[in-house]
Amino acid sequence: MAYILFYVFSAVALGCAILLVTRKSPVASLLYMVVTLAAVAGIYVLFEAHFLAAIQVIVYAGAIMVLFLFVIMLLNLGHDYRQDIRGGVWAVLSFVVVGATAGVLARQFRGAEANPVYDYFQGAGAIDAMLAEKGAVGAIAQPLFTDYVVAFELTGILLLVAVVGALALAKRKV
């Protein structure tokens, strides 16, 4: 049953991600992004990463999507009826995405020994030991605030710059 749910959540996430980038309306794209993030949270639940699923829903599907919606409404971006994507660029991009997806799936179905990414994972036993020692929050927070603290801070700065830029653009039109 878990395999079926995984494929259902994956199909929903991929389908909504494609619809996200192909819609002309920013509000429709935003709603497809919320569904995509909810499907990813469902995949996290299947992998028994309940803390990540909760963070995915609360932070991304909740707070950041509401922020994006307010920025879209503030800038009044919903009334542009020009064509977003040109035919030739769309065809090339579709070909590249389908080819890359087929390559990733082919490599994945060959097995773990042919997959070089498999070597980087320590296995379920190491993860279980870390969860027993530090708990779910500690197992996520320790690498986030030690190894990946620069990327974490840069993401926060990027979001701050995006909000300030959106407000500066909106202030000019008022």
DSSP string, 86-135: -HHHHHHHHHHHHHHHHHHHHHHHH-GGG-GGGGG---HHHHHHHHHHHH
**Looking up tokens 């299947």, which residue turns up?**
46
Average pLDDT for residues 121-131, to the nearest whole number?
70
Q: What is the pTM of this model?
A: 0.52
Tokens of 171: 């202030």
- Identify the band that residue 172 occupies on the pLDDT scale cut at 50, 70 and 90: low
pLDDT(174) > 60: no
User: pLDDT of 57-116, one tens digit each?
Assistant: 888 877 777 777 777 777 665 555 555 545 566 667 777 777 777 777 677 666 555 444
Tell me the C-alpha distance between 104 and 101, whole Å: 5
Q: How far is C-alpha 128 from the geometric centre of its chain's CA atoms? A: 25
Distant-in-sequence, close-in-space partners of 162: CB < 8 Å, separation ≥ 6: 71
Tell me the C-alpha distance between 119 and 23, whole Å: 39
- Identify the band that residue 120 occupies on the pLDDT scale cut at 50, 70 and 90: very low
Q: What percent of the chain has pLDDT over 90?
A: 3
44 close to 53: Cβ distance less than 8 angstroms: yes
Average pLDDT for residues 7-29, to the nearest whole number?
86
Average pLDDT for residues 7-24, to the nearest whole number?
88
pLDDT(153) > 80: yes
- Identify the band that residue 118 occupies on the pLDDT scale cut at 50, 70 and 90: very low
Which helix (H) or strand (E) covers residue 31, if one does? helix 26-46
140 close to 51: Cβ distance less than 8 angstroms: yes
pLDDT of the residue at 117 = 43
